[in-house]
Structure 1
């Protein structure tokens, strides 16, 4: 509640810019993170996402699981942790976003008390790598009744001029129960228990990925059906009625989320942290409305290229072999 704002900000200030980082706390958190890593690796769907990140972004920071790996967490020294905190968790590197019935000057004053100001210059981040060479398909083995695949391509940075076109393209392709992937791959063909697509957008890189849970025996047919839908977006303009439905779904979701202060603060804070300006809700809605079938066709043609495809599969042993030969979009210039 708003009446507890001072106390909430004070607690966050203590956690972020004045933590104790005692040996006992570090060791306790080390054990928690190791269990978290194990839980991700035990979940085939999560493991497939981890492998896809590696296939898409390689050995750099974006290609590594944010939790790290168990060996690295066990050997991570306390001095290294404290040095990282001193470089990254400082007032000059903090963005504070507050949404609610409060005056801006009042929030600035409270933030000053809780977090302070200044404290050094923040260094530049390592730039995102290009698409790594080498294997286009990464396989992980798990003895389970369901296999999981993630297939996708490098996409656009968060503030790219075509970012809203990509968002609408994704809405048509696989966001929601009226999307093409859901209706075709799941409902019509029965090849997946669940299927959908999503956009990962960072400050200087991005990806579009399709995820599906399938019967291990249906891995190849499911992959081919997904690739068919990518090629269809590349080769055929989206009909006006279908495009209007996708836009309404995206715009409605934006409007509903902005009614919650938590989402509004996240929207403003995320943009402030990554970009030079904050897009208003009206500007976002206008950007969605302005997307045309021709623009979707162009962006799909630029993104959906055989050489850019990457695939991650988690399935029982001996399943998933030979899928690299199937990782080709139909049609096109063939």
Structure 2
């Protein structure tokens, strides 16, 4: 059962006590990601994520790493389109050290000019790394195309130009505007006493000052797009996007999870069984949903030899049409509900996964469903809701296509 507490400065704490474990995962969630950036400062959310590990008024970058490593723990962070998260996982006896370090990073970052200039180069190498991955590049280009002109289509890392345009003043202003307690959530999962850990968090974060936050999430309109990008690779990578639903449409989101699992979300899925197992045309093929506030997309990804591209694409389109025309059988729906419930319950065995789930839900949706509610929601999805979501999502009038590979610039599918 989850417990929540809101500090006087507006910081929300949500925790789940699991006394039979010996570890605790704790995350600080910030309601700021690449979606709220403009083109000039594209990548600044991710830039700040890096900078918070470069040292504080009390610790060097090496101190942060050593203090966690010496305890056998983990510390890391990630930036997404809609949020940023900094987290630790430690033995329960060491969690106070984790709280101390994370509070120090949030409240006392240096943003030293020399570190900023060095980190630009590190992030540029990260950008190049993703550009060297054809699958990542295909998704980034697809996202840029289907959300063209909207920040949701920006690369989370930014661009080479924006990375060198971002300056110390902009970093400090952005940090000051969004890294405030009333725009944040702390989630905890593992072996702890909630009341005791709330006191520890309050002691460390009480000087974090509340501030009015102005975030306006505008809806990103889905745009049809067709993109090719030459890349000297042994395989060609295909990314297809379909307009989906928003994350807040909870019932339809569960229905889409069922549909996606059957369509391409598992090794028993239609795409995998038809195109890989029966036809032998690909090694990797799958689908996944990315749901945001007010909008979302379903992505289909495959890699194959150039000579198989057209056939794979046509088979994917055939599967989309078949799903749209014939929907799903009752037996497929029943079996997939069991599959989803089993996968969800297995995920609950990880404190990190549980911490991530409750933290993100509280930050983005202001509420968290317990496991019984989630299992019941999956069970309650009916055939009509699934048909409605299929009609809405598997619509070839709204489609984006991106192809990355050798000599693909003149390919027309």
| 1:143-154 alignment runs, 5 A limit | 143-154=232-243
Q: Secondary structure of 1:98's partner?
A: strand
**Structure 1 gap ranges (5+):** 324-334
Distance 2:376 2:398 in 1: 31
Q: Secondary structure of 1:148's partner?
A: strand
Q: Secondary structure of 1:127's partner?
A: coil
- Asked if 2 retains the 8 angstrom alpha-carbon contact of 1:17 and 1:89, the reply is no
Distance 1:229 1:320 in 2: 25
| Partner of residue 85, structure 1 | 175
Shift of 1:6: 1.0
- Give the RMSD, CA atoms, in angstroms: 1.6
Distance 1:220 1:113 in 2: 61
| Partner of residue 220, structure 2 | 129
**Structure 2 gap ranges (5+):** 1-90
- Asked if 2 retains the 8 angstrom alpha-carbon contact of 1:165 and 1:295, the reply is yes
| Partner of residue 103, structure 1 | 193
| 1:281-292 alignment runs, 5 A limit | 281-292=371-382
Q: Secondary structure of 1:162's partner?
A: helix
Shift of 1:293: 3.4
Distance 1:320 1:223 in 2: 16
Shift of 1:191: 2.1
Q: Secondary structure of 2:397's partner?
A: helix
| 1:261-272 alignment runs, 5 A limit | 261-272=351-362
TM-score (normalizing by structure 1) = 0.92
The answer as to 2:97 corresponding to 1:7 is yes
Q: Secondary structure of 1:306's partner?
A: coil
| Partner of residue 63, structure 1 | 153
| 1:45-56 alignment runs, 5 A limit | 45-56=135-146
1:25 to 93, 115, 135: 115
Between the two proteins, the alignment pairs up a number of residues equal to 321
**Cα separation, partners in 2 of 1:240 and 1:140, compared to 1, 3 Å:** same
| Partner of residue 156, structure 1 | 245
Q: Secondary structure of 1:313's partner?
A: strand
Distance 2:289 2:117 in 1: 35
Distance 2:172 2:333 in 1: 50
| Partner of residue 273, structure 1 | 363
1:139 to 228, 235, 242: 228
Shift of 1:295: 2.5
**Cα separation, partners in 2 of 1:131 and 1:237, compared to 1, 3 Å:** closer
| 1:249-284 Cα distance to aligned partner (Å, 9 max, x none) | 211111011121111111111110011311111111
Distance 2:178 2:367 in 1: 22
Shift of 1:43: 1.0
| 1:136-215 alignment runs, 5 A limit | 136-160=225-249, 161-215=251-305
The answer as to 2:127 corresponding to 1:41 is no
Q: Secondary structure of 1:307's partner?
A: coil
TM-score (normalizing by structure 2) = 0.75
| Partner of residue 322, structure 2 | 232
Distance 1:222 1:319 in 2: 18
| 1:218-254 Cα distance to aligned partner (Å, 9 max, x none) | 1111111111111122111312332223222211111
Distance 1:270 1:179 in 2: 28
Distance 1:289 1:118 in 2: 43
Normalized per residue, the structure richer in strand is: 2
Q: Secondary structure of 2:240's partner?
A: strand
Deviates more, 1:110-119 or 1:160-169: 110-119
- Asked if 1 retains the 8 angstrom alpha-carbon contact of 2:235 and 2:303, the reply is yes
Distance 1:75 1:319 in 2: 31
Q: Secondary structure of 1:58's partner?
A: coil
Q: Which runs of 4+ in 1 moved over 4 A?
A: none
- Asked if 1 retains the 8 angstrom alpha-carbon contact of 2:229 and 2:408, the reply is no
Distance 1:297 1:158 in 2: 18
